[in-house]
Amino acid sequence: QSQELSQARIDYHVALQSLQEHGTRMVCTGKMHTDRICRFDYLCYSSEAEEFVFFHSNSSVMLPNLGSRRFQPALLDLSSVEDHNTQYFNFLELPAAALKFMPKPVFVPDVTLILNRFNPDNLMHVFHDDLLPAFYTMKQYSDLDDEARLVFMEGWGEGPHFDLYRFLSSKQPLLKEQLRNFGKLMCFTKSYVGLSKMTTWYQYGFVQPQGPKANILVSGNEIRQFAKALMDKMNITKVEEAWKDGESFEQEKDKENKDDYIIVFSRSTTRLILNEAELIMALAQEFQMRVVTVSLEEQSFSSIIQVISGAFMLVSMHGAQLITSLFLPRGATVVELFPFAVNPEQYTPYKTLTSLPGMELHYVSWRNTKEENTVTHPHRTWEQGGIAHLEKKEQERILASKVVPRHLCCRNPEWLFRIYQDTLVDIPSFLYVLREAMKTKPNLKKAKMASTVHPGQVREARCQTSVQTPNEAKLSVSWQIPWNLKYLKVREVKYEVWIQEQGENTYMPYILPQQNYTFSDNIKPFTTYLVWVRCIFNKNLLGPFADCKNLVH
């Protein structure tokens, strides 16, 4: 099925002639290899050499033309993980004239997106590193539509979640190992290489200990749009959709409460909850709700997403399965459990996800603090946290340690040892943490009211100073409402005025409800003030500053 790259859709001789005459053309976005995506006409791939090939001719284009800086360290990142040295993309160069001596190229007619999956065995990585970035890279370039072809160059097999990648387009994705089936030389008529990093929120600790990315650019809205698109592909109708319009919150609440339920997402091979039944009973009793368990080993992915999309609460051990939080309805709670000696504050891919503005999820972590409730596995392989291969001293140090110190990815034995422990969840301490957290759960009604429309700049900001006496002066500031305000219903509109004496590095901020004010305190005659005004909706939606410079002679 995957092999039917119908050559009929393109005129082979026209394509070959075009390649020979015009060669390869490349135009990219991005100043650095880490933010670059390139668009190619006639990028070729030699399966013999396992290299991409750029054919030079009189009309080829290579922008950016980096010269040998193209190898310092690479043209671009082929995965969404920033600057990872196993994920670089580059191509070899040849004159188009060399085509005469090469195997006849096979042309790929589809618009193609070429990328590396980062870790297709792990569900969190599948979503965070591949599916979300590919989905939004495809949104960025309109010819990467439902007919687009995806090519995965990382060299892995399909992996356990290949069906999820199939949802990205109607065409079967190709793996690197399959490319050789198309002959020794294949040429992509039109292709994009690289992935947008705009949607990623977590860095895995290659250069500094893992944590949220420094500059997160995605909000819950984009995550939820992606989740909805994926659910449509899986033919899942989200429970929440049914009560979006026309019903009051109270009606919803009444209806909701009746069939609300809690999910315990269980792992069946590693990092176990040893008293799952007891935990389930405690949850059912505490919330007077049904509790259902799901696991990747027992249910299909789509049936798991179906139940998650209507859940009140999701409880799980730390682990990749928690990425399914992105399918929870707004207002739901995520409870993440951590084994002994693992500090929840330092491993926050799911906390960060649930806390994105607009995700509207409530996050709670619980940590096993009782060493007698942990079950260790020192004799397992190092990947599964075994430590028996380490020197006796080091084993003893790890066993005596009460918390894993900060560390880099990915083979820290103490981290792996601790994160792969099984846990007997202490029910009283679990319920205590949960009760405390539920007290501070923001209510859904408020969350739903929160608008995301920011104020525009205030208009006609005017400042005027007047000298009263040699020691007294006044500064009058006035402005007009932002243009977009007249079309909006905003609960609270306020203005913030900043006044800075020229040459000073501090300023005085004032919050005002009205559109003008005359300042006299701290205003000196014969002094220049810099004044800025901005509008604020509902306490935290800030508009841009408008400035008025005021000069006194």
Find out whether 146 and 170 touch, Cβ atoms under 8 Å: yes
Kindly tell me which residue out of 26, 187, 320, 477 binds ligand UDP, with binding defined by CB under 6 A: 320
In whole angstroms, the minimum distance from the beta carbon of 267 to ligand UDP comes to 3
Output 317 or 531, the one with its CB closest to ligand UDP.
317
Taking contact as CB under 6 A, which single stretch among the options 54-62, 121-129, 223-231, 496-504 is the one that binds ligand UDP? 121-129
Applying CB under 6 A, does 319 fall inside the site for ligand UDP?
Answer: yes
Output 131 or 536, the one with its CB closest to ligand UDP.
131
Find out whether 186 and 385 touch, Cβ atoms under 8 Å: no
DSSP 8-state secondary structure symbol assigned to residue 370: -
Kindly tell me which residue out of 24, 116, 122, 316 binds ligand UDP, with binding defined by CB under 6 A: 122
Output 129 or 360, the one with its CB closest to ligand UDP.
129
Applying CB under 6 A, does 535 fall inside the site for ligand UDP?
Answer: no
Taking contact as CB under 6 A, which single stretch among the options 256-264, 319-327, 450-458, 525-533 is the one that binds ligand UDP? 319-327
In whole angstroms, the minimum distance from the beta carbon of 534 to ligand UDP comes to 43
Output 78 or 320, the one with its CB closest to ligand UDP.
320
**CA dist., res. 371 & res. 339, Å (int):** 9
**CA dist., res. 344 & res. 89, Å (int):** 35
In whole angstroms, the minimum distance from the beta carbon of 152 to ligand UDP comes to 18
Q: 276-287 vs 427-439: helix axis angle to the nearest 10?
A: 40
Output 297 or 391, the one with its CB closest to ligand UDP.
297
Kindly tell me which residue out of 68, 142, 269, 471 binds ligand UDP, with binding defined by CB under 6 A: 269
In whole angstroms, the minimum distance from the beta carbon of 265 to ligand UDP comes to 9
Binding map of ligand UDP across residues 169-198, x = CB under 6 A, - = no contact: ------------------------------
- Which residues of 502-545 form beta strands (DSSP E)? 508-512, 516-519, 529-537, 541-542
Find out whether 127 and 22 touch, Cβ atoms under 8 Å: no
Taking contact as CB under 6 A, which single stretch among the options 5-13, 314-322, 328-336, 365-373 is the one that binds ligand UDP? 314-322
Distance of CA 442 to CAs 74, 348, 437, 519, Å? Answer: 46, 21, 10, 38
In whole angstroms, the minimum distance from the beta carbon of 417 to ligand UDP comes to 13
In whole angstroms, the minimum distance from the beta carbon of 419 to ligand UDP comes to 6
Taking contact as CB under 6 A, which single stretch among the options 56-64, 118-126, 389-397, 410-418 is the one that binds ligand UDP? 118-126
Distance of CA 453 to CAs 216, 282, 351, Å? Answer: 19, 42, 25
Output 181 or 268, the one with its CB closest to ligand UDP.
268
Applying CB under 6 A, does 321 fall inside the site for ligand UDP?
Answer: yes
Distance of CA 158 to CAs 154, 165, 548, Å? Answer: 11, 9, 60
Applying CB under 6 A, does 124 fall inside the site for ligand UDP?
Answer: yes
Tokens describing residue 99: 């085509």
Applying CB under 6 A, does 270 fall inside the site for ligand UDP?
Answer: yes
DSSP for 131-143, please give it.
Answer: IHHHHHHHHHSTT
In whole angstroms, the minimum distance from the beta carbon of 297 to ligand UDP comes to 6
Applying CB under 6 A, does 296 fall inside the site for ligand UDP?
Answer: yes
Applying CB under 6 A, does 305 fall inside the site for ligand UDP?
Answer: no
In whole angstroms, the minimum distance from the beta carbon of 196 to ligand UDP comes to 23
**CA dist., res. 424 & res. 275, Å (int):** 6
Number of residues that bind ligand UDP (CB under 6 A): 12
Taking the chain, what is the end-to-end CA distance rounded to the nearest angstrom?
A: 81
Output 113 or 296, the one with its CB closest to ligand UDP.
296
**CA dist., res. 80 & res. 519, Å (int):** 52
**CA dist., res. 122 & res. 411, Å (int):** 16
In whole angstroms, the minimum distance from the beta carbon of 300 to ligand UDP comes to 13
Return all residues near 225 (Cβ < 8 A) that are at least 6 apart. Answer: none
Environment class of residue 53 by beta-carbon count within 10 Å: exposed (0-12), middle (13-18) or buried (19+)? buried
Tokens describing residue 315: 């409880």
Taking contact as CB under 6 A, which single stretch among the options 16-24, 49-57, 116-124, 170-178 is the one that binds ligand UDP? 116-124
Output 322 or 497, the one with its CB closest to ligand UDP.
322
Distance of CA 34 to CAs 22, 85, 206, 248, 441, Å? Answer: 29, 11, 15, 47, 38
Applying CB under 6 A, does 268 fall inside the site for ligand UDP?
Answer: yes
- Closest by CA position to 384, among listed 496, 492, 267: 267
Tokens describing residue 112: 């193609």
Kindly tell me which residue out of 39, 149, 238, 267 binds ligand UDP, with binding defined by CB under 6 A: 267
Distance of CA 348 to CAs 182, 353, 385, 473, Å? Answer: 43, 8, 20, 53
Applying CB under 6 A, does 376 fall inside the site for ligand UDP?
Answer: no
In whole angstroms, the minimum distance from the beta carbon of 268 to ligand UDP comes to 5
Q: Which residues bind ligand UDP (CB under 6 A)?
A: 122-124, 267-270, 296-297, 319-321
